[in-house]
Structures are given as C-alpha cells and as structure tokens.
Structure 1
C-alpha cells in the first residue's frame, strides 16, 4: 500500500489537474457560444449564393462553366479540417479515420490524390504515414475570418480549374449540438449536383443578370466553392470547441471521482496508522507493568 505522503501527493496533483481541466472547460464553453453564432450567421449567405448559382445553372440558358461540368476522375483532392491542438476527445480521430479510410480504399497510388490540410493534427497525421500534404495551413484563429484561409481556398479551387484534380471533397466535423458532432464528407467540386430543392427555391425568384450569365458564373462559382471550404471550417471550429468542452468536463468529473477514491484510501490508511500506533503504545505500557 502506498504511504500517506504518496496518497496525499496524488490528491494534491489531481486537484491541480482538476483546476486546469475546469478552466479549459469554461474557456471552451465561452468560445463555443461565439463559434456557434458564426456558423449560424454564415448559413443565410451560403443559401443565397447557392440559390443564385442554382438559378443560373438550372435556368436552361447557354451559360456554362468548367466547375459545373463533370469529367473523368483521374485525381481527387481532399481538404481535411482538423484542429491545431488535442484534448478534444475523439474530434480529430473521427475525421482522420474517415478521410484515411476513403483515401486508402479509393486509391492505389499517391499520384491519384492531393491532400490539403487545415490544422496541425491532420498535417502531422498524414506526414507520419508518408502521405504527401500538398497544401497546408496551421494556426487558424478560434474565430476565423475568411481572409485567414482565402489564399489556401483560392489555390485549392485553382487545382480544379487547372485540371490538376478532377474532384474535390472536404472532410470536417459538423456541429449538431454541444454534445453531438458528426463527421461530414462534402463534395465541393464539380458543382454538377445542385439539389433539386435549391433549383425549386431559385425558380420562385426572378433575377436579371448583368452583363450576362456566363460572366457572373465566372466570378460567382469560384467564390461559392471557396465559401464551402470556409463554411466547413467555421462549422468545424464550433464542433472543436464543443468537443473540447465535453472532454474537459469529463476529465473534471473523473478528477472528482479520483479525489474521492484517494481521500477514502487516505482516511483508511491514516486510521490504520493511528490504530497501529495505539496498539504499540498499549503493548509497550503492558510490557512495563
């Protein structure tokens, strides 16, 4: 059995750890509120730009654009959104497991895919497995602005327009609630599968295009594709804060349970030591009689 000093030391260190996890839980809860607002405020913009794109694409005119056309898939691009830090439960592991399995199952050669990593955890994961990361960005703010990833998003979209890749997917964690997040795989390019629902929505609105539909598409479609990447990032940030808050709450609760168990063990050991001392004193007194 451990000595009283060792048990007391474990109790002290566990209490200090609890203070840290409790503080991290509160910080993540604060960040989550703002990240959730950012994710929700982005939805109207995303829906409106998708509605306009659907209106042009489904309008039956002569407008066309390479981003709307499906072609033979020789190489795929994968945008993997993870965090820069750990201590977020299964947040990163779930995203990386899904992306890694898809890449492993769909490709036999490294020439058949391109990896774009947003976040240090994802970048290091693929590098450790000798999988080339073509583009990367780390140190993204907890409340990111579009300017933070504008260059990366633009370069990623250019990979498609320059036919370096023929499809582009983004993997991220979708925020459902503070205790629920789910891994999502979203097709970014080509934009040939605009939903019938969006086409129906757009048909209820009347648009006049100046100077013409093709010129509007040439500007709007790259912005739309970039917005999908940015939307995945801010959604993923909300999930990250929620996952870290939940993980730190679990760690704090576990620390409480451990402190209770150690305190009980300490009290039992202390009682046993006191009993032993009393027994020795009584035994010594008896020997003197």
Structure 2
C-alpha cells in the first residue's frame, strides 16, 4: 500500500500536469481562433474558383489539349499527398489520417497500383518511413502557418509529375473540418482535374459565354491555379482541425487530472484517518495496560 508521502507526491504531480494541459488548451484555443478566421475568409474564394473552373471545363474534359483534365487510360502509379500535423497531443486526429492513408494504399496495392507518398507533416512521415512505403518528398512546418507560396511549390511539383507521366493520378488525404468537435479524414482526387458540373440555371451547361481572352487561354492559366487553391484550402482545413482536436484533447486531459486529484485526495484522507485511528488505538491500549 502506498504511503501518505507517496500519495501526496502523486497529487502534486497530477496538479502540475493539470496546469500544463490547461495552458496548452488555452494556446490551442487562441491558435484555433486565428486559423478558423483565415479558413473562413478563404473558403468562399475557393468555392467560387471551383465554380468558375466547373463552367470553363464543360465540354473539354475529353480534349487532349488540356493535360490536367486528361484521364489516363490505365492507372499504374499514384502520388498520394498526406497532410498531418508536426506535433501530437491532439487525440486521435493523427491516427485517423494515418489509418485512412493505410487503407487507401492497401486498396490500391491490391489493384496492382504503385503508390508513392508525399508526406506533408512530421507525424505522417515518421510513421510511413518505418513501413515499406516509398516517400518521394517530405515537407514540415506547412500547417503551422499555411501560405499560398507553399501551396504553389507543392502544386507545381505535383503538376510536373502528372504531366511527365511519373504518376497517373494524384490524391490528397486531409482533415475535413466539419465543426469544432468533429473532423473527418477525407480523400480527394486532385489530378486529373474533374470539377463538378453545374446543372441548369445560372452557370449551367446550356448557358453560352463570351471569353476574353480565349477559352483555351483562360483554362491554361486557371487550371494550375485550381490545384494551388485546392491545396491551400486543404492546408487551412487540416490546420484548423489540428487545433480543434488538440484543444478538445487538452480539455479532456485537464478534466481527467481534476478527477484523479479528487480520487487521490480521498485515498489520502482515508489513509491518514486510518493512521490516526491506529495511533489512538495504540494510545488507548497502552493506557489500559498501565491501569492493569
């Protein structure tokens, strides 16, 4: 049985841990607020840009003049971009993304397709470098402060690989931010580009447009930017999801620490009371013995 000193020492240690987790919760909340504001400002632009690409790409998906829209007849190689944070202490957030990537890789390998990994984030890289997975590129620090320059650098490399035939498709696994308490891993095929078609109404396929400059010139300029903007959107969503998951994890850890302190304090008081009772019994027994 633990002594009173051991229990007291453990209570002090748990209280110090509680202070650390509470501070980390506050830091995560502050970072979440900033990251969420940036994501909410950028999301309407990304949505509208996707809509513009959808309108421009109507009727040219099968045209071989646009390499980024060209579907490969046979898919043999896939480049997978996995977005994960550089740090842990965010619950099951990292594990969910890694498990999704593992299932995706296993499914493609079962079809006889080779998957090469681009690891954006330290956690994903550390996990898969110990597995038999080829990692073509490693990037860290991206989610700390997502920027358009990072999206352009990564996007250009992915486009170059696709156009040169190094890979036949490019997929991205990221965290889809649904709410503060829910973030779900998502898989998106980025290349070849397959924008959603609008149906009917304003912007539908039955509407004719006059383009200036030409339709081809616009697509040649906007298709690469579509890749950059989608990547930046996924950077923002994954970064916000990381901070939200860490905030929730640290809040749960703080609550668990408080519950453990209550339990240990109760154990400490019971042990102390038992010690006092034993001493009283010894005193009473000694007094009775002296009387006799």
The offset of 1:209, in angstroms, is 2.9
Q: Secondary structure at the match of 2:243?
A: helix
User: What is the count of residue pairs matched by the alignment?
Assistant: 288
Higher deviation after alignment, 277-286 or 8-17: 277-286
The offset of 1:121, in angstroms, is 0.3
The offset of 1:286, in angstroms, is 2.4
Could you say which residue in structure 1 is the equivalent of 2:71? 70
Higher deviation after alignment, 21-30 or 197-206: 197-206
Partner residue of 1:143 out of 142, 145, 148? 145
The offset of 1:145, in angstroms, is 1.5
Could you say which residue in structure 1 is the equivalent of 2:46? 46
Could you say which residue in structure 2 is the equivalent of 1:190? 192
Partner residue of 1:163 out of 158, 162, 165? 165
Q: Once superposed, what is the RMSD of the aligned Cα atoms?
A: 2.3
What are the Cα deviations for residues 66-101 of structure 1, in whole angstroms up to 9, with x where unaligned? Answer: 111111211111110001011111101111101111
TM-score w.r.t. structure 1 length?
Answer: 0.92
Unaligned runs of 5+ in 1: none
Q: 2-side partners of 1:247 and 1:48: how far apart? A: 34
What are the Cα deviations for residues 44-65 of structure 1, in whole angstroms up to 9, with x where unaligned? Answer: 2112222222222116798941
TM-score w.r.t. structure 2 length?
Answer: 0.91
Q: Is the helix fraction higher in 1 or 2?
A: 1
| C-alpha distance 207-52 of structure 1, shift in aligned 2 (>3 A) | farther
Q: 2-side partners of 1:142 and 1:199: how far apart? A: 41
What are the Cα deviations for residues 225-263 of structure 1, in whole angstroms up to 9, with x where unaligned? Answer: 121112111101111111111111111111111000000
Is this contact kept in 2: 1:31–1:142, CA < 8 A? Answer: no
